[in-house]
Structure formats: C-alpha cells, structure tokens
C-alpha cells in the first residue's frame, strides 16, 4: 500500500513511518525539516513542505492509499472548536 504521512518527524508520525516500512508499505513523508527524518529505506520518499501551505506539494492527492497527519488533524479540530462548532 502507498501511504502518505504528514508530521513524520514527530513522535507519532515517526512510529507510523517505521511500522509502515516494516510492514512492507511504500511511504511518502511530507515534512517541514527533511534533515530531522533520519530513517533510510528504499520505500521511503521524503518531500519538504508544510501541510498547511496551499503552495506546498500535496502527495496525498496523487496515488496514496491512506494519509496520516496527527498534528494536522489536531490543528483542524482546534480551529473548528475555536469557531464554536
């Protein structure tokens, strides 16, 4: 399976990447600081960018079967809650 992980340099994101690679999946990681992602694997593709930047590459729109972003979804939830929803 092709997976996209946003926030792959964080604690949860890194674990998701490690487990996905160990299971034989192909992972594309969208990260703000590629140098922080020290994992090396032929099935790991790292893209520099920020998920909240509309001009950033969005690999999840291409061929990913699943996308994971712990921090992104936390910010979405906080934004919705701040608007009284």
Q: Give the neighbor-by-neighbor strand order of the sheet with 44-48.
A: 44-48, 26-31, 2-6, 66-68
How far apart, in whole angstroms, are the C-alpha atoms of residue 22 and residue 34? 20
Position 24 scores a pLDDT of: 94
Q: Does domain 2-82 have CATH number 3.40.30.10?
A: no
* All structural domains of the chain with their residue ranges: 2-82
Residues 6+ apart with CB under 8 A from 21: 27, 39, 41, 43, 44
One digit per residue, the tens of pLDDT, for the chain of length 85 reads 888 888 899 888 899 999 999 999 999 998 889 999 999 999 999 988 887 776 666 555 554 455 555 565 566 556 666 766 5
State how far the alpha carbon of 69 is from the alpha carbons of 31, 33, 84, in Å: 11, 15, 23
Position 25 scores a pLDDT of: 92
Position 54 scores a pLDDT of: 66
pTM above 0.75, yes or no: no
Position 52 scores a pLDDT of: 74
Position 75 scores a pLDDT of: 62
């Amino acid at each position: 399976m092709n997976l996209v992980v946003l926030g792959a340099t964080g604690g949860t994101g890194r674990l998701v990447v490690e487990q996905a690679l160990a299971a034989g999946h192909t992972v594309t990681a969208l990260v703000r600081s590629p140098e922080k992602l020290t994992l090396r694997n032929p099935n790991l593709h790292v893209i520099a960018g920020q998920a909240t930047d509309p001009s950033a590459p969005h690999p999840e729109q291409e061929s990913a079967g699943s996308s994971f972003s712990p921090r992104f979804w936390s910010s979405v939830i906080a934004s919705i809650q701040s608007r009284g929803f």
